[in-house]
Structures are given as structure tokens and as C-alpha cells.
Amino acid sequence: MRGLRASAVVLSLTITTFLAASPSAPAAAGAPPEPEVTSLVTISVPDTAALEKVVATGADLTERVRPQPDGSIQVDAVLSEGQLSALAPLGVEKAGAPAAQETPKTPKAAAAADQIVIERAVWFRTRDGYFLSVEATSSAGPTATLSAAWRGRGGASGTVPMVPYTDAGAYLGHQLSTPAPVADRPAWVTVTSAGGGKAQARVREWPDGERPDRAIPGYRKDFITQYMPPGQLNERVKALHRQFPQLTDVIALPYLTNGYRRHAQAQFGAVVVTSLAYGSEGGNDLAMELVDPGAQGRPLQVTVNGKLITVSLATDASGAITSTAAQVIAAVNAGAGSLVKATPYRTDSGQGVVTPAPLTQLSDFLKAPADVSREPARVLALRIGAHRDGSRTGVLAYAQEHAREWVTPLVTIETAERLLRNYARDPATRRLLQRTDIFIVPTVNPDGANYSFYDYNFQRKNMTNHCPAAQADPAARNSWGVDVNRNYAAGSLFDGYVGASANCLSGTYAGPGEHSEPESRNVIWLAQTYRNIKFAMNVHSYGGYFMWPPGAYQAAGRVTLPRPTKAQEAYFLRSARTIEEAIAAERGTVTWPQQTGPVTDVLYSAAGNSADELWYDFGIFGWDFEVGNDIWNPATLTWEGVGFQPPFEEGHKEALEYASGLIALIGLAADYRAP
């Protein structure tokens, strides 16, 4: 029942969040209706239950989620002011200056002392300094008040409160809200409970995985000079194949995208007109006007002259215009239905009388230069290996399911370049290419990526508009599209899992059905076609996570997809530590231990994501990177997110460090022996 009530709340929020309820005419006749302005904001959510509800509204959350000392959670999100206020009933507000560390508001102590178990106490060096992270559980559960105390080898000491962490109602333990700066390496940590419990543990180093191969003198790296739109990525893939034909194949994936293209539109008050042809195929050449005949008792008339549609409005005996929006819509569809379709604006009843409007050119509103193709796009994979015959362990690395994550394709390109350009000189690289079969897809979602580069930088989804007419007016155009990483078939919205939306305007819209989109079908085609693929890395940004399945839980009963076995989980974690070690070796970027783990434990439920399908349906170890770790601000004593498109100087460094991580994954694949 609780679930049902939550759904009702979600439904009403969804409607008010994504569409203005009352129609309004465009500012001036002929001015293109502009989408609502969105921005990247850090929001504060009261607790995990509220976060689950926010996820369920389909709000456009980033992949950066941070628990706070008072039990609240901060999440970065892409929202308009209207969307933000629509979330207020869930207790969502813009995060202000972070509160100083407070004692958690959980005063009750149990009568008998609680049992404390320290799950993990680690100390790590990052480019921003030294940090301590402690995770512990109390038998008293989330209401226990815990603190962690340490003494460093040099004599420095400190105490920090711990915060309870629950997910989908399950208590996962207490942790430090953010790792605490600790320059003096502690040997031991003591966790004390207000309920009387106490435990001690030795502090270990993190990530402490296998050290990466030492680079030989002359090892070549750094092949990235700028953010690259899809056209440049494809050129780079083809150029690498031309230069290294013995080591590579270019695979043209079978499903063409819908293309960087839209139908052309114009809006006349409550009348929305959409071309049948795409803008690039003639729609942009159309124009329409609403004319006052300037005479009495005239009928409503639509005439088409080539590309020009003239609507002569009806007048009464005094010469006043009488045509309503509904009448104009019907007349346009009857008289110009071979060129355009007219529909009412959103929920407008169409009963209002229209006003004349000057000749207005229809537009697809796409701003990319003409050399960016408007045709359906071919997605390319670069296959790399000395033996590309299916006999070697396959590794799939695919990026930019989410269009705005500009750093992610660079990670894959840098990886490909390093593998190919060091093959002849570096024995460790040669070994990787001898023993593995690598498939690299720099951009899964090229149409969305182009839209992100040229039109709307926060574009997350692909460009395909599945919305009905009432949600397809021009001002809604930045909200169309399918979240490619919610369109897969394992643990999907359609199976009853949480973390994807049925609303076509939502940031996490799952699409009309599983695999409805060519972008997701291409990824699955690779897994189906090359059965030697045993490892996959889904590269996302930002937030500094390293995750694996399960990635979703069911709405009913909040049951996750099956957990991997203990042995598999241990392999996921051990591999993660090795890969994180390689990332850290580049410039000291450490992926925090509490951001290393199953998606449902460390982030939030993401129904229908690709790593889950690869793992559950194909037995592929499917990981997700969230590249772009927070940067420590010593002035405010807080970690700050880097965003989707950091200044290239930062994005460049992220690409280099995560390419090292990807190469470490290929190293694990080279050593892998099927059990």
C-alpha cells in the first residue's frame, strides 16, 4: 500500500514537473518558443526514502550522490526553477553552504551495549591530500549514534561522527559522511557507539590493488587535444584502422540511429504546426501566415502556394476575426495536410479566437553547422587485437550513452591510441593485444551528442521524440528523447524495476519498450555476436564511482536483481581495486571505497541499464565507471563536483587517468581464465 500511495504522489508531481499546466502564447508572433532554462544544481533531499521518490519522478539526476552528516543526501541535478519547486513537496531544496559536521539526530541509546563491526577502515592519499574512510555496522541499526576516533603514527588524533546509510529501507551501516582529511597516517581506528558498543580495527591502505605495470621508458600516451563531437570520433576510429590495419577492424554496428534531425515547427498562439518532412528534408523551407482578410463576413480559408501556407481567417459581419484555434487546426489539416500537421498547444481547448500572424518560417531549431550530417548515423566500433578471431577473451568498452558526458569518449580514444601506438615498443601492451580481443565504441549516442555540442549542453538522452502532440510543441524540444541507459531488457521499467520513467519528457524516459532504440540494440548486438566478450566497461560521468550489478530493484518489495555469488562479488571488488590503483597512479585520483560497489548500494536504482543486461543475460562482467571525481576545496572543507563538461584541462586529465583504468581492466581480461 505504501508503494501505491507513493506512486500517486509521483504521478501528480510528474505532470506538474515536466509541463506547464496552463498554455501560454509565444512571446511574440514569429519568435521561436524557447524551452525552459535549466541549470546544474546541487539539491538536498531529506533522506533515502525521499531520494527514492525523487528518482521515481524521473527527475534528471546526475550520477553524483553524497550522503550528509545529518542523514540528508545531496545530489547534483539538471533542473529548471519550475521543476525544482515541483519537487519541494518531497522536501527537496537547493543545497546551501554545507553545514558543519553535526551530531546525527539519533539520540536514543539502547539499554544493552550494541555490537559494533568495523567493515572497512582505509586511509588513502589523493591529489588533494590524505583521507580516512571508515564503514561500520551497529547491531542497534541505523538509529545508533557512532563516532570514529583515530590516532596517527605522528601523534595527531581526531574524532568524527558517522552517519547511518540505508538503501531501499535496508540498513547498510554507518560511514563517515565524507572521508575526513587526515595527513598523519593512523594505524588503528576506534568506533564508539552512544549505546555502549565499541570496536577497533587496523587501518589499511586503499585501493591497494595490484600495482599497474611500470611504464617502460618511451611509453606513449596523451593523444587527446580537445572535446570531440561524434564526427571527429568516427574520423579518429577510421584513421587508427588505416594506420594499424593488422591490429584493428572497424565494425559498423547494424542499427542506424534516427539521426541528428527533427521535424520543423512553428507556433501560432494555441496552434502548433509540425512539418511531415524532417526540417533537413524540406520542412525548414515551409512558412505559414495567419491573415486578417480585412473584409466582413469572410470564410476561413487555407491556400497552399508552393512552400507557403496562407490561412485567411474568418470574419463576422463587423469584420472581426472569429476563427478559433480548433477551427484553424482543422482547416490547416484539411488544406495543407500533405505538408504539415496542426495540433493544439498542450492542454489548450482550442476555443480561443486566434490572432493574425506574419509569415513565419518553420524550423527544426537545430544549430549544428551544415557539415554535421542530418542523416541516420552509423555507430562504429573499433576492434583491437592481434588475434581477432574469437579465441581471446573479449573486452567491450562503450561510452556516451548519455550525450552530455563529453569526457567519456575521450577515455576510449586515449585507450585505443595507447594500445596501438605502444604495441611495437612495450612488451606489456603487446601481451594485452596477444591475449585479448577489444571492442571500443567511443559514442553510443551520436545524435544526442551532437545536440549536446550544438544545441543544449545538458542533453542526456538520444534525439528521438516519442511524445504525443500534447507534449511535442517546440518549447518541449530539450526534453524529448530516450535515456539509452534505461532502455535495456534486464530489470527494466517494464519488468517493474525502479529508476526509469514512462514520461517521454523525463530525463530517465525508458522509451516505449525494451530495446526500442537503435543505440541500445547496437550494444546488445555486440554481446550477441561476439560471444567471447567476458568483460564490459560502461563509461559515464561524473561523480567518481566504480560500480557493478545489481543496478536495479523492484518497486514491489524493493527486491534487487539477484546478487552475484560471494566469489563473483569478491572478483568484482578485487578487480575494482586493481583498476582503481591504476587510475590513482596517474595523478592521485582515488575512487572512494564507499563509491565502489554494486550500483544499488552506492548510487540509486537504474532500471533497464546496460551493465545489468550484459551481466544477467550474457554473463559478462559489466562495470560502470563514473569518471570525474570530486575536487577537495580546502577553503570550504568540502568536495566539489566537476560537472559534465569541465574545462578541457580537467577533462583531459580525467581521460588520461580513466584510460589507465581501462587498460588495467584489459589486463585483468588478459589474465582471466573461465572457472
- In the complex, the residues that contact Zn ion under the rule CB under 5 A are 402, 540
Of 492, 537, 530, 536, the residue nearest 511 (C-alpha): 492
Closest to Zn ion by CB, 503 vs 610, is 610
At closest approach, how far in Å is the CB of 62 from Zn ion?
8
Closest to Zn ion by CB, 365 vs 542, is 542
What is the rounded distance in angstroms from the CA atom of residue 522 to the CA atom of residue 529?
Answer: 10
Task: Measure Cα distances from 84 to 4, 88, 143 in Å.
Answer: 24, 7, 30
Closest to Zn ion by CB, 236 vs 402, is 402
Dihedral sign (CA 76, 81, 87, 93): positive
At closest approach, how far in Å is the CB of 626 from Zn ion?
7
At closest approach, how far in Å is the CB of 630 from Zn ion?
16
> How long is the chain?
675
Catalytically active residues are 626
At closest approach, how far in Å is the CB of 616 from Zn ion?
20
Closest to Zn ion by CB, 137 vs 609, is 609
Closest to Zn ion by CB, 581 vs 624, is 624
Of 269, 305, 309, 273, the residue nearest 291 (C-alpha): 309
Dihedral sign (CA 350, 473, 346, 487): positive
Residue labelled with grid coordinates 553524497? 66
At closest approach, how far in Å is the CB of 457 from Zn ion?
14
Q: Phi, psi (5° rounding) for residue 584?
A: -65, -30
Residue pair 578/662 in contact by the 8 Å Cβ criterion = no
In three state form, how does the secondary structure of 215-267 look?
CCCCCCCCCCCCCCCHHHHHHHHHHHHHHCCCCEEEEECCCCCCCCCCEEEEE
Q: What cell does 593 get?
A: 571505497
Closest to Zn ion by CB, 135 vs 401, is 401
Closest to Zn ion by CB, 315 vs 445, is 445
DSSP code for 120: E
Q: What cell does 214 get?
A: 611500470
Closest to Zn ion by CB, 190 vs 452, is 452
Q: How far is CA 26 from the centre of its chain?
A: 31
At closest approach, how far in Å is the CB of 63 from Zn ion?
6
At closest approach, how far in Å is the CB of 405 from Zn ion?
5
Closest to Zn ion by CB, 328 vs 413, is 413
Residue labelled with grid coordinates 547494424? 254
Q: Which residues contact residue 552 at a Cβ distance below 8 angstroms, ignoring those fewer than 6 apart?
A: 491, 492, 497, 498, 499, 560, 561, 599, 600, 605, 606, 607, 608, 609, 612
Residue pair 668/128 in contact by the 8 Å Cβ criterion = no
- String of b and e for 128-156 (b: at least 16 CB within 10 Å)? bebbbbbbbbbebebbbbbbbbbebeeee
Residue pair 273/263 in contact by the 8 Å Cβ criterion = no
Closest to Zn ion by CB, 584 vs 599, is 599
What is the rounded distance in angstroms from the CA atom of residue 524 to the CA atom of residue 398?
Answer: 11
At closest approach, how far in Å is the CB of 599 from Zn ion?
12
At closest approach, how far in Å is the CB of 540 from Zn ion?
3
Instruction: Tell me the one-letter amino acid at 37.
Output: V
At closest approach, how far in Å is the CB of 158 from Zn ion?
36
User: What is the CA angle 446-256-450, rounded to 5?
Assistant: 20
At closest approach, how far in Å is the CB of 583 from Zn ion?
18
Q: What cell does 634 get?
A: 580546502
Q: Which residues contact residue 502 at a Cβ distance below 8 angstroms, ignoring those fewer than 6 apart?
A: 493, 509, 510
Of 405, 420, 394, the residue nearest 461 (C-alpha): 405
Q: Phi, psi (5° rounding) for residue 560?
A: -75, 160
At closest approach, how far in Å is the CB of 606 from Zn ion?
9
Q: How far is CA 344 from the centre of its chain?
A: 33
Q: What cell does 646 get?
A: 569541465
Closest to Zn ion by CB, 402 vs 515, is 402
Q: Phi, psi (5° rounding) for residue 594?
A: -75, 0
What is the rounded distance in angstroms from the CA atom of residue 372 to the CA atom of residue 375?
Answer: 9
Closest to Zn ion by CB, 402 vs 534, is 402
What is the rounded distance in angstroms from the CA atom of residue 201 to the CA atom of residue 137?
Answer: 13
What is the rounded distance in angstroms from the CA atom of residue 95 to the CA atom of residue 636?
Answer: 14
User: What is the CA angle 101-103-104, rounded to 5?
Assistant: 110
